Amino acid sequence: MDFAALIYHRQVFLDGQWWLPFTAQLVHFSFPHALVNGAGAVFLYVFFHPWLRGTSQWLGLLGGWIAVAVVVIADASCGYYAGASGALQGWAAGGALAMVGASGSRWDRRRWLGLSLLLLLLLKMWLLPQMTATDLLWGAPVYQPAHWAGTVGGMLFVWMWTLGSATSQKQRADHQRAKHQ
């Protein structure tokens, strides 16, 4: 398979290959690029596994993936894109938000770890412009909007899920109370 054909190239996308903003996040410019993103995915899995159900993690990743695709399409100056780092940023931010918003009245270890991860992600985003001055390991610059989009998308999907879950739990509780009256 020609993985290079899955990389987002704006003109090819405009010529009708609508799937490229999504497939581009599954391929990478080089092996070191893929290795760094793979290591990030393993880290996130290991970090979140004891604390979160899969739903929050998948929603963060999906939100990041979709948001990156939207930003790549919307940014007319983005001529090409490949890599999973923006979607992984969504996974990290969404998972961290889920940890901070965990049920319970007191701040336990899970909430503090989630808050710490959110703060580290914000620090990374603040430092990212300095990191993109070089081409890092894989010979391609970091596309900063993908990281911002992934962060917002991951958090937005987890937040919407949390709101929807809270609303349905309240409705069930109200229904139970009405049945017992």
Structure confidence by residue, pLDDT tens digits, 70-101? 999 999 999 999 999 999 999 999 999 999 98
Return d(Cα 121, Cα 172) in angstroms, integer. Answer: 36
Number of domains in the chain: 1
Residue 153 token pair = 């998308």
Residue 17 gets the label, from left (phi > 0), alpha (psi -120 to 50) or beta, of beta
For 124, the domain range is: 3-179
What are the distances in angstroms from CA 123 to CA 65, 82, 118, 129? 21, 24, 9, 11
Confidence of residue 133 (pLDDT cuts 50, 70, 90): very low
Confidence of residue 124 (pLDDT cuts 50, 70, 90): confident
